[in-house]
Structure 1
Amino acid sequence: MESSVRRVASNTCRRCLRLSAANATRPSIARPFSKAASSHPLRKASPSSSVNSKLPLPPTQSKAAPSRSIFSFGQQVKEPEDNSDALGPAASYESQSRPPILRPDDLFHSFTNSPIPEIRRRAAFIRQHAHCPHPDHQPTRVPNSANASPDTSKSGAQAATHVDFECPDCGIPVYCNENHWADNYEAHLQVCDTLRQINEDDHDLRSGRFFPEFEYAGPQLEEAAVNMTNWDTFLYTREFEAINDDRNMRQVTRLLTYPVTIGSILHELSPYSIRKGGRLTPEGLKSLSALRYTLHPPRTGSGSEIKGLRPEAPPVRIFILGARAESSLPRNVWVQLAHLFPRGKFHLIFVGPESMANRDDEFPLPPRTASNPFGAIVEDRVWPTMKISTIVDYYHTLHKTGQFYPYDPYFDCFVMFHPGLGHPASSHEWTETVPLLLETKAPIIVTGYTQYDMDRDIEWVRKTCGGEFDILMEPGENTFRSLRWDLNDLDPQDVTCGNWGVWAFRGKRYEATTKQAE
């Protein structure tokens, strides 16, 4: 009997085996699998202001990533062991058979009284650091274009006070007391619905349910074109499981926005073009055409025999500078970038002093030796066409040593996710790096939390580099931004979303001309 069961299990795919085992142990609980693809009437809300610090990614599990500590809400928290297996598609049969902590119709809870210990700790962190935004208090942050400048004549003389009162509609500490909340309720209504959505999404992520949206699609057939018009067409043409729920859509785009944002710019079917409204400049077409030529090589008729051998191009190096939360993404998320280019090769290089902040237990830092002077961690078995390296150091230190020299616009690209180039707290870290990036003449892709965040970064680059750069892609909203909103724990009124906008630039190139003899 056991041999027959093993024989049947060996001939059954992993997904069907998991479903059959789950149905046998829990027949009364219905899985929230989607039945058919449909359009997603997502409500589009305008972001408020730029976040002061980069928010960490939500703790998720994947097939390729073991349990790891998550740097969350200002402190390093270990994922709960009794619930960690049920957070992703790699859950075991036993954990999937457990009833979820929260039902889909019971996701709204105040942060302070949440049944999730991690969210209660987050509420305590907000109460300890966030200040009341009522006009009676002295301002605690510099206003920006997203929030109108306060009238100094009406600014109160009361000292800044930490928040303590939770709004009953959104369940998040937003004001110091109920009187200030009621007095400023009209201003709070602008973000109250978004804060409630954040509240429910955070509870859903830790509810213990099974996440079918984290079952990512496999390799893409070269004959099947990918439609990059929007998230719906992308997921459909990539043959993802149909997602009919807006909340599930927000959860899956929160992670996929990082690799898909890069792929949507480098792909030959990119939604960004040089045509009217395409945002791509003539200089951008030159730079991206070089990378697209490498990532979409022509068929050479090569074979397995000696006479069928053909030279192959080296892998495209994508330097992700200032890497933080994106460096700890599950590796099957980054493999989605390789699936978009079936005949391309990638070498992802995460560079930054915080690039290993979430993975200390998983990958202890190796010692710096003569053969590995910067203590790089190399993952060369992520995918046959993808390798990932992580270096805990500043990029300008690597550039000066010639570690990755020479640079080629056909094979190199730089990406910076929410770098904060113009932010007063982080601009000094990029003063020495950006001029060195311009010397490589390779394209530099930059994302931002809001329009104001991008405009501030561009203005800083203009002042720092003296105009010695070309805009490759005009700044604007990212087609593949995260649909899930994020909360700034230091200021609950500040809500943003990952990779909201994107733009690109590179060092200015001068055409050499010959002088005719007289």
Structure 2
Amino acid sequence: MRSPASYTCKRCLNALKTVFKVRQQPIPTRQPAPGRRSISTAPDKSSRISSNVRTKQQELQRPLIRRSVSFLGQQGETVKNEPPEYRSPGGLASTTVLETEGRPLLLPNNLFHPFSSSPSPEIRRRAAFIKQNAHCPHPDHHQTRLPTNPDDPEARKSVQGKLPPVHVKFECPDCGIPVSCSEEHWADDYEAHLEICDTLREINEDDHDLRSGRFFPEFEYPGDQIEEAMVNMTNWDTFLFSREFRAINDERSLRQATRLLTYPVTIGSVLHELSPYSIKKGGRLTVEGLKSLSALRYSLHPPKSGGGADIKGLRPTPPPMRIFILGARAESSLPREVWVQLTHLFPRVAFHLIFIGPESMANRDSEFPLPARTPENPFGAIVEDRLTNSLKISTFVEYYHTLHKAGHFYPYDPYFDCFMLFHPGLGHPASSHEWEETIPQLLETKVPILVTGYTQYDMERDIDWVKKTVGGEMDLLMEPGENRFRSLRWDLNDLDPQDISCGNWGIWGFRGKRYETIRKDAE
């Protein structure tokens, strides 16, 4: 049997021997004499090999490098003037992050940071914006505006208070968000702040989680599934399980996932034949609502046509289901994979989503520059028709009443059309004037109109405004109430940290009144 050395070349053996000799006998370094120039000699081949081996071994033995995010938020920068919050007894910063492929990664147990000293530059800018615009909610200050609802903190203030209005400066140590002008006012009004403190801390951690740089498996969505697999729309848990989403075992991940999915699933939960909203007791659906939704469900769940690939199997294709999303803002910039989930609930139908509103292209200028308005495209529509074979998206940066007067979408069909308004603010004093001309036009179409709201008061204010504006020319299709597929994540109003809400909290529906024709017998 041959020895292992016989399989190794002599050149490599000599290099290894040289390495061992170098380890045992350190090489003395000579300093050049003063006034003389040091002469550098080129190392021989064996010394080059030994230095390469030492370098490789040092790289393998080097521990995982932990770096801190500097106060300016740049990666890999040395923090010279760290604030006291950033220091820890162990010498590493408390906001230490692991640098993975050039991206900072906040650990799951290290997501809470005060907004003003957050490792994220975006959150620090947000803290500065809050301090410049939000006012202290302590009842000793003057009112800065009229209260919008009975629970508004401004309702506790008087018109002529003891102190003038002051912007918030003090950050609550429990939630990390600027909520008061001073520590004294925060402590004096702590009982009122305690009602939302836990929710504000949850918002703080969720915002840092989105910017932690971790991998988000909850944003991976399933594709088509067999039609025999029934979708259970009782709640979020049953829906995600029946749609074969990846298991989400963390509440924070569930909140992040529902923040995006609430928009398509809210529409699907009302229009689907297995909808949790019915005419039964507690189902919140009215008789008129059953009539309108039955027409839509007839088109959304057609029977199998029996078509085939040959000429004999050709069958006429129904027009796509048009869903007009008016006043589009954040929903128009959602990832298209999110809206594709709506088509998976109705596999036999094609959809055409139409986003309409002056803010429908906000934050998307670099993605799709606005096209010029030409005779072929008079309203500058942006059409995305290469998403899937069953989804097409069009965006109009225009008010709906302008398109309605031009007859751009005429005619409307109650079997194939539906309007959707996400948080329109119909009754809000700052936005109600924009809907005064639109709502009567929507009622003329006799097409179902679904509306969501941030809170129960927001919905009731919208309903009262619609009844006051159009009188008795509307039929209520769905009683107002909490949306089963609302966003589980809470959002913060930067202009007023006391104002917290969640996307699509409630939902209700209405339609233009239909008048039945009655024949009068001749005398």
Length-normalised TM-score, structure 2:
0.80
The percentage of aligned residue pairs carrying the same residue is 74
The answer to whether 1:271 aligns with 2:276 is: yes
1:244 to 249, 252, 264: 249
Which residue is equivalent to 1:375? 380
In structure 2, C-alpha distance between the alignment counterparts of 1:118 and 1:148, rounded to whole Å: 27
2:495 to 473, 485, 490: 490
Where 2:395 maps in the other structure, the secondary structure is strand
Q: Give 2:115's aligned amino acid.
A: F
1:191 to 196, 203, 210: 196
In structure 1, C-alpha distance between the alignment counterparts of 2:423 and 2:239, rounded to whole Å: 23
Where 2:498 maps in the other structure, the secondary structure is coil
CA drift of 1:345 comes to: 1.0
CA drift of 1:145 comes to: 3.0
* Structure 2 CA distance for partners of 1:160 and 1:215, relative to 1, 3 Å: same
Where 2:248 maps in the other structure, the secondary structure is coil
* Structure 2 CA distance for partners of 1:202 and 1:310, relative to 1, 3 Å: same
Tell me if the contact between 2:475 and 2:512 (Cα under 8 Å) persists in the aligned partners: yes
Q: Give 1:323's aligned amino acid.
A: A
CA drift of 1:382 comes to: 1.2
The answer to whether 1:400 aligns with 2:399 is: no
Farther off after superposition, 146-155 or 351-360: 146-155
Where 2:478 maps in the other structure, the secondary structure is strand
In structure 1, C-alpha distance between the alignment counterparts of 2:100 and 2:377, rounded to whole Å: 42
CA drift of 1:147 comes to: 3.8
1:140 to 122, 139, 144: 144
In structure 2, C-alpha distance between the alignment counterparts of 1:166 and 1:459, rounded to whole Å: 38
CA drift of 1:497 comes to: 0.2
Which residue is equivalent to 1:234? 239
Q: Give 1:200's aligned amino acid.
A: E
Which residue is equivalent to 2:36? none
* Structure 2 CA distance for partners of 1:326 and 1:493, relative to 1, 3 Å: same
In structure 2, C-alpha distance between the alignment counterparts of 1:220 and 1:438, rounded to whole Å: 37
In structure 2, C-alpha distance between the alignment counterparts of 1:186 and 1:231, rounded to whole Å: 33
Where 2:115 maps in the other structure, the secondary structure is coil
The answer to whether 1:111 aligns with 2:115 is: yes
Tell me if the contact between 1:114 and 1:120 (Cα under 8 Å) persists in the aligned partners: yes
Q: When the two structures are aligned, how many residues end up with a matched partner?
A: 430
Which residue is equivalent to 2:306? 301
In structure 2, C-alpha distance between the alignment counterparts of 1:455 and 1:388, rounded to whole Å: 31
* Structure 2 CA distance for partners of 1:155 and 1:216, relative to 1, 3 Å: farther
* C-alpha RMSD of matched pairs (Å): 1.9
CA drift of 1:517 comes to: 3.1
Which residue is equivalent to 1:92? none
The answer to whether 1:282 aligns with 2:283 is: no
Tell me if the contact between 1:96 and 1:210 (Cα under 8 Å) persists in the aligned partners: no
* Structure 2 CA distance for partners of 1:151 and 1:299, relative to 1, 3 Å: closer
Where 2:387 maps in the other structure, the secondary structure is strand
Larger RCO (CA under 8 A, 6+ residues apart) = 1
CA drift of 1:209 comes to: 0.5
Could you list the runs of 5+ residues in structure 1 that have no partner in the other structure?
A: 1-27, 30-79, 84-94
CA drift of 1:98 comes to: 5.2
Aligned runs of 1:298-337 on 2, under 5 Å?
298-337=303-342
In structure 2, C-alpha distance between the alignment counterparts of 1:464 and 1:443, rounded to whole Å: 18
Farther off after superposition, 153-162 or 375-384: 153-162
Could you list the runs of 5+ residues in structure 2 that have no partner in the other structure?
A: 1-62, 65-72, 77-98
Tell me if the contact between 2:142 and 2:157 (Cα under 8 Å) persists in the aligned partners: no
Where 2:510 maps in the other structure, the secondary structure is strand
In structure 2, C-alpha distance between the alignment counterparts of 1:497 and 1:421, rounded to whole Å: 18
Where 2:244 maps in the other structure, the secondary structure is coil
Tell me if the contact between 2:143 and 2:159 (Cα under 8 Å) persists in the aligned partners: no
CA drift of 1:155 comes to: 6.4
CA drift of 1:96 comes to: 6.7
Where 2:380 maps in the other structure, the secondary structure is coil
